[in-house]
Chain A
Amino acid sequence: AQSVAQPEDQVNVAEGNPLTVKCTYSVSGNPYLFWYVQYPNRGLQFLLKYITGDNLVKGSYGFEAEFNKSQTSFHLKKPSALVSDSALYFCAVRDLGGSQGNLIFGKGTKLSVKP
């Protein structure tokens, strides 16, 4: 069965510093991995995804993620955090067991960026 884990409930970063939000996965077969962001009282917005190819994936708002097969990780990164990046971040994996391919989400990591 597919699953993702986000080991940190919250990540605190000072504005201008690099940020990392961690995600590890467990899949049988090829992993299709996604990151979404949820701003307060808003829906989920797609940031980026890894399907195949280059291990470094670039996405929206300056975010990127590094796929590491040996460590089964897909950490989200940004070189310089902004206060406006403060939000809830979800890692997700495609459920290949179902014919419709719904997403299986991690529990979410709250990112807090302080000025």
Chain B
Amino acid sequence: DTAVSQTPKYLVTQMGNDKSIKCEQNLGHDTMYWYKQDSKKFLKIMFSYNNKELIINETVPNRFSPKSPDKAHLNLHINSLELGDSAVYFCASSPLVGRATDTQYFGPGTRLTVL
């Protein structure tokens, strides 16, 4: 009964390809997030999303797009993959929109390697 799950765990692909990473949470949370962890282990927000509002970190290239088929899912689609996209991508969720005291719960991560 994993709370926040991601698939796949590992993703190896060629430069220029388009790929998607799926995220699902079974916690009934309203808000979901995508974070990127680079090779130096720095963690940075990419997107935060609820059913009404998407907030995009301005540093994220528009090749990255989150897609939410329903409240429990927030998938990450990446077009025209580049070498610099290689990283670990973490999905997270929290209970309510904008409630600063809420804990965020993270998925296990997806390690993306672009060759």
Contacts and interface: CB of A to CB of B under 8 A. Distances in A.
B66 interface: no
A51 B92 CA distance: 20
B108 A103 contact: no
B94 interface: yes
Interface residues of A, number: 26
B110 to A, nearest CB: 10
Interface in B86-104: 90, 92, 94, 97-104
A103 B104 contact: yes
Interface residues of B, number: 31
Nearest to A110: B41
B19 to A, nearest CB: 20
Contacts of A88: 41
Contacts of A51: 101
B34 to A, nearest CB: 10
Given A42-B108, A43-B90, A43-B108, A102 B103 contact: no
Given A43-B108, A101-B31, 18 more contacts: A32-B101, A34-B103, A38-B41, A43-B4, A43-B106, A44-B92, A51-B101, A99-B55, A99-B97, A100-B31, A100-B33, A100-B48, A102-B33, A102-B45, A102-B104, A103-B45, A105-B42, A108-B42
Interface of A: 32, 34, 36, 38, 42-46, 49, 51, 88, 90, 94-96, 98-105, 107-108
Interface of B: 4, 31, 33, 35, 40-45, 48-50, 53, 55, 90, 92, 94, 97-109
23 contacts: A32-B100, A34-B103, A38-B41, A43-B4, A43-B90, A43-B106, A43-B108, A43-B109, A44-B90, A46-B104, A46-B105, A88-B41, A99-B53, A99-B97, A99-B98, A100-B49, A100-B97, A102-B33, A102-B55, A104-B45, A105-B42, A105-B43, A107-B41
